[in-house]
A = this chain, B = another copy of it.
């Protein structure tokens, strides 16, 4: 088969999302409230609309995608499945390397796959305005885009250091009508408190989350809600359209089930999106190696324990059962901003616990080497996060060569790197460092969760 680009017709777009929670042999542990007891759906109602909360707690295997959402997704979906023939040739591997190209969305990553349904369900519920936080800016851009198309106001609290370093990301959000402020901001009680105590703070994702939640719950009109771009079950659900499309596309070129499925994982959503439909096959007996990849600077899955922990630094979220490095963990300043998160999606964490996944960690230098090889063979410039998937795909392709096996490798090309060229520049200048989290640092960070309930 010579075609490098495998398209799916619009009429063949998946009409349902796949919910992995329906298929685990052992059910995942529930989130806990401040009292240590499982939370009820209505406890989340001030933060999320009830139609999204229903998805969050659902154990239905298939959930219908409303036609109105599909109509919006058609702007870029179905996304192409592509074959990396130029990289294969360079590596002289017998493996066939396929990748799902999520960089084709208007915001440049997989994030709009959940931003659009989240905005749509909020609109259906009568909500007028969404708040969120953003670190590197990918998620804030995606939600701004979705709110622009659907007709909601959007306020983004962007970690101050990123806000200052990435003015183009702010502009991108503004093009779609989003209002972006540096966090901590003077717009919330919590922000004002932090600014008063530490006027020169660079900010953090934890502070930004706290501000976005405070903003949402304190709107007296009840017309504002909060939106999260990863970690939660409904986010994983919306992203499964990636893997469901990929399956149809592989079938359309008479390809078998992949031997290896790879995605980088920060909060877990792009990895889950591609892999969960294949995790289902694995539960049903298929032999697939499924690899979430992460940075050695933030080795949540490969080093962090499975524990109950908060999703944010300020401990405002329920306790989630997940792999974590402790909610106070501050990773080294690697350039894959989307992978600098202390926790991991509960569904991904549970799949690891069930023995379905084989996480691996890569250092950023090795990842940039893979990104450069990609640009100089396939042509495109990938996001620093995506390079963690490419590094693994290259490793697996070399292994297939050593073993002389015609393997099928599938990975998620989660986004382009056109807004992230600063890291490439530092790599080319030899200014990047290797970062490996030490056991001492990790143990110190885990102190913060020692008194929390144990799973």
Contact = CB atoms under 8 A, between A and B. Distances in A.
Contact of A175 (B104, B177, B372): B372
Given A74-B4, A76-B379, A174 B10 contact: no
A212 interface: no
A68 interface: no
Contacts of A74: 4
A418 B418 contact: yes
A425 interface: yes
Interface residues of A, number: 41
A149 interface: yes
Contact of A7 (B7, B75, B104): B7
A106 B381 contact: yes
B106 A175 contact: no
A10 B7 CA distance: 12
A425 B375 contact: no
Nearest to A10: B3
Contact of A10 (B5, B104, B105): B5
Nearest to A86: B75
Given A108-B418, A380-B106, A375 B171 contact: no
Contact of A376 (B7, B86, B149, B425): B149
A184 B118 CA distance: 51
B376 A176 contact: yes
Contact of A428 (B10, B76, B174): B174
Interface in A413-450: 418-419, 421-422, 424-425, 428
Given A171-B425, A175-B381, A425-B167, A376 B148 contact: yes
Interface in A370-398: 372, 375-376, 378-381
Contacts of A149: 376, 379
A418 B421 contact: no
A7 to B, nearest CB: 5
Interface string A340-379: 0000000000000000000000000000000010011011
Nearest to A4: B74
Nearest to A168: B421
A2 interface: yes
A272 interface: no
A138 to B, nearest CB: 13
Nearest to A428: B174
Nearest to A423: B171
Contacts of A419: 418
A329 interface: no
A4 B74 CA distance: 8
Q: Report the 3 A-B pairs with minimum CB-CB distance, sorted nearest first.
A: A106-B379, A171-B425, A171-B421
Given A3-B9, A106-B380, 13 more contacts: A3-B10, A5-B10, A75-B378, A75-B379, A106-B375, A148-B375, A149-B376, A168-B421, A168-B425, A172-B381, A172-B421, A174-B428, A175-B375
